[in-house]
Structure 1
Amino acid sequence: MSVFLYFLADFLYSWPYGSITQHLEKRNFMNRPDYLKNYIFDWDVFDVVVGGRSALDSNFFVAKLDDITEVNKFLKGYGLDPDNPVARAELFGNFQEAIQFIKRYFLKDGSPDGLDLEIPTSLFTVTDISGLFLMATGNSEHTVEEQLWAEIVLKVMHTILHADKDLRSNYFNQIQTQIFDKFYRYLHRDNDNNLYLKSGEISIPLVDFETKSKKSRDSVIIKLLHKAENVAEELFDRVGVRLVTKNKLDIIKVLQFLIRNYIITPHNIKPSRSLNTIFDISLFRSKYSSLVKMALRNNLSEERFVSAVNREIDECSFENIESEHNLHSSAKYRSVQFTCRQLIKYKNPFLAEFFKLRKMAKDEDSAVAKELLGLDFSSLSRDVRFFYPFEVQVVDEASYKINSEGEASHSEYKKAQKIYAMNRVFKKLLLHKGLIQE
């Protein structure tokens, strides 16, 4: 018995839960001690829950579901109501969108960088989401390849759901307005159309100021598919600004300007999102005091002092740096960037109209007026307040030109991001077909 237990323990550790029962039956282990069924652990799922692994990268995206009852339990646990026909229709719409998304971005027919694969006909015959789940977990009369395809579609559906269910997206126009206005009030142009960041006597010349337009829905889905977190709340760059300075010293001056004018609040910055790939600020800081002493000792003009400072910054510049935050950024990409949070204040426009109607109802003597006056509106929120992240990027003109060309360009970045997401979602199918090696 001890030899058997040792073998079984090793066996259970190496196999995901979805296949354990089938393999035990094949090897006739079911006549062994009954208590062992209580010690079958799903190690693969534990890697997701406590090991930092994404569900998209697990061996089985969905655990084994024996029948429609189990599928419905899973959907309820996920937060969806399988008994609600509207919710099921919406979920089926997500399924159809996932199919079209895969065809448009991940397959050769829709994208030149896509895979030369075809979606199995059986997926187009799915009329109920329960059937898709049963197909993905091997509980239907389908091939392994069809099972893997069903799992791929579920991964994209899961991502679409997260992209759609971010409540804050309903307030996006207000979010953009409140964040961008903090910057716009300090932007000025002179008679020659030169751009400045200006407050009182402080004026910093800018080459350009850019705001990030709202990401398209498809861009959000692709970005989520390549992120380990895979949830919409973890996208920190839906709103962003870029300030392009004339030189590297002005980067520091811009940062100080943003802080001193309360455009950004250091307390609201997300530390893990701060990145500097332009120059070693710690090294430059250690040399800066000597530059100031030299200026005092020699009574340097501002022009000569700035020239000396910029020479020193250039000597502190980084060479190629691999980004720890984004694997798809080129090592040549240069920027100082960080993510801040802004407290957004949204006034509910419905309440103004509601109170207007209540005021009118007081002069009416009708059943409708009485019902309106009797409504309990205590649960209605007058104001909605929440923190929303936005990205700030400050870059000098020379670095900006490098970023806009070749490997560092945004188009190359987007292409690399899409290919990574595609290979991640299709990995198991590509391994099964022998198109890639583990």
Structure 2
Amino acid sequence: MTELQASLKGAGKLSLNWGYLNAIANGTSAIDLGALALRNLDDARQFVREYGFDLDEPAAAALIRRAHCEAVEFIRGTFLDPDQAGLIPAEVSEPEEVLQLLVYASLRGQQVDARRMWACAVLKVMHGIFYIDNNLKLRHFHAIRAQVFGTLDEVIRHDGERHYLTDGDICLPLLHYDRKDNKGRGSILLKLLQKAAYLAADIFDHLGVRLVFATRCECLLALRTLQRAHLLSVTNVDAERTRNTLLDLDAAKQVFCKYRAQLEHAEGYPLDLLRQMDAELAEIAQPQTRCDNPHSGSGFNSMQVTVRKMIHVQQLDAAPEQDYDVGFFFEYEIQLMDEASYQRSLSGPASHEEYKRRQVDTARTRVFGRDLLRWIEGQHAG
């Protein structure tokens, strides 16, 4: 066994990559880096091994190649115009060995800067793809979806084409009921690429429902209905992710207390009275601004609650003494809107199309970086 001796002498010059070490020490996200710090292919292979891939396994190499192809197609289809698809250098879009991209992403110099920037962009997207593919919770997605909607279906009932929200006591008619059964892979990837950590576990809207009522006061009653059915409680709501730009609860309390007796004694469903309550609410309510999503447009109003639900799946390798299945928490979203807010969301700055465009712009800037964006503009101008 070789005896170890303390020493600072190495085979080469003692140098530090200050930018890379600063990113590690100060928590800079990988998606915001402009370069890696690998010296050669041997370095790249060790990097990949510690990342989690055993390159001696043919399946691992195949996974990396598939992720590379998906990343290139995602960039071309999402961030580039059709006439810009050829801007990605062939060395990056069709490398003889995908590992070479790690070396390309580490080399600086006037002749290789464009290649480095494109290699970084592709690797950033590949990193997001690997997080999606290795999110263990999503491997149980069918069980998750069945259990989440199994509970929701108990309170969201339908009679013909009409849907109602009911806890067995009051019954609120829905104008629109939108159910998200699955967030598409491209949408997940786009959302990851906007986040500093870009972890698949940070995507909270894989599943969810949007409940649209005629009035905001009905949204208040819907909140009560969901609470009484225990779908919403202080223990299962992610408080940090609650977004309320719809209801001023203090003002709503004043209006509700004023009209509660009339609501209780009304014949039939008191929609006109609820609209009158909404009009008074609008006069005294303060604007609600708890929405830190930078991509939401002006005029978008909703109450969005992220709910944690314990999911149970059977564990195939459970110990003999374990007589209960494995549980983990999965988060899904419930969104409440009134008709006016919903109509505004269909067009203009508050529309989903504009929201998506702002998402793409943010992700493009983070993946490409400003230097590559300027390079692309220069090619277009030329």
Shorter-chain TM-score above 0.5: yes
The 1:295/1:231 distance shift into structure 2, 3 A limit, reads closer
> Which residues of 2 match residues 127-138 of structure 1 at below 5 A?
127-138=96-107
Provide the residue aligned with 2:118 in structure 1: 149
Is 1:323–1:331's contact at 8 Å kept on the other side of the alignment? no
Provide the residue aligned with 1:245 in structure 2: 213
**Structure 1 residue aligned with 2:62, among 75, 89, 101?**
89
Larger fraction in helix: 1
**Structure 1 residue aligned with 2:143, among 171, 174, 177?**
174
Is 1:195–1:205's contact at 8 Å kept on the other side of the alignment? yes
| Cα separation, 2, equivalents of 1:132 and 1:146 | 9
Provide the residue aligned with 1:430 in structure 2: 373
Provide the residue aligned with 1:80 in structure 2: 53
**Structure 2 residue aligned with 1:344, among 301, 311, 334?**
311
Provide the residue aligned with 1:54 in structure 2: 29
Residue 176 of structure 1: CA displacement?
1.3
| Cα separation, 2, equivalents of 1:281 and 1:423 | 38
Deviation beyond 4 Å, 4+ runs, structure 1: 37-41, 139-142, 293-296, 298-308, 316-322, 376-382, 432-436
| Cα separation, 2, equivalents of 1:294 and 1:178 | 38
Residue 138 of structure 1: CA displacement?
0.7
Is 1:223–1:417's contact at 8 Å kept on the other side of the alignment? yes
| Cα separation, 2, equivalents of 1:119 and 1:163 | 24
The 1:382/1:132 distance shift into structure 2, 3 A limit, reads farther
Find the residue that maps to 1:129 and give its secondary structure. coil
> Which residues of 2 match residues 156-305 of structure 1 at below 5 A?
156-190=125-159, 194-285=162-253, 287-288=254-255, 292=257, 302=266
Q: Higher relative CO (CA 8 A, sep ≥ 6), structure 1 or 2?
A: 2
TM-score by length of 1: 0.73
Provide the residue aligned with 1:357 in structure 2: none
Letter in 2 for 1:42: W
Residues 316-348 of structure 1: CA deviation (Å, up to 9, x unaligned): 456595831x21111111100011111111236
**Unpaired runs of 5+ in structure 2?**
1-7
Find the residue that maps to 1:266 and give its secondary structure. coil
The 1:232/1:103 distance shift into structure 2, 3 A limit, reads same
Letter in 2 for 1:159: G
Is 1:196–1:203's contact at 8 Å kept on the other side of the alignment? yes
| Cα separation, 2, equivalents of 1:202 and 1:189 | 15
| Structure 1, 88-97 or 390-399: larger mean CA deviation | 88-97
**Structure 2 residue aligned with 1:399, among 328, 341, 355?**
341
Instruction: Count matched residues.
Output: 365
Residue 140 of structure 1: CA displacement?
10
> Which residues of 2 match residues 408-423 of structure 1 at below 5 A?
408-423=350-365
Question: RMSD of the alignment, in Å?
Answer: 3.5
Letter in 2 for 1:415: R
The 1:103/1:59 distance shift into structure 2, 3 A limit, reads closer
Residue 39 of structure 1: CA displacement?
8.9
Q: Share of identical aligned residues, percent?
A: 29
Residue 129 of structure 1: CA displacement?
2.5
Structure label with greater radius of gyration? 1
Residue 125 of structure 1: CA displacement?
4.6
TM-score by length of 2: 0.83
Is 2:244–2:288's contact at 8 Å kept on the other side of the alignment? no
Provide the residue aligned with 1:121 in structure 2: 90
**Unpaired runs of 5+ in structure 1?**
1-32, 352-375
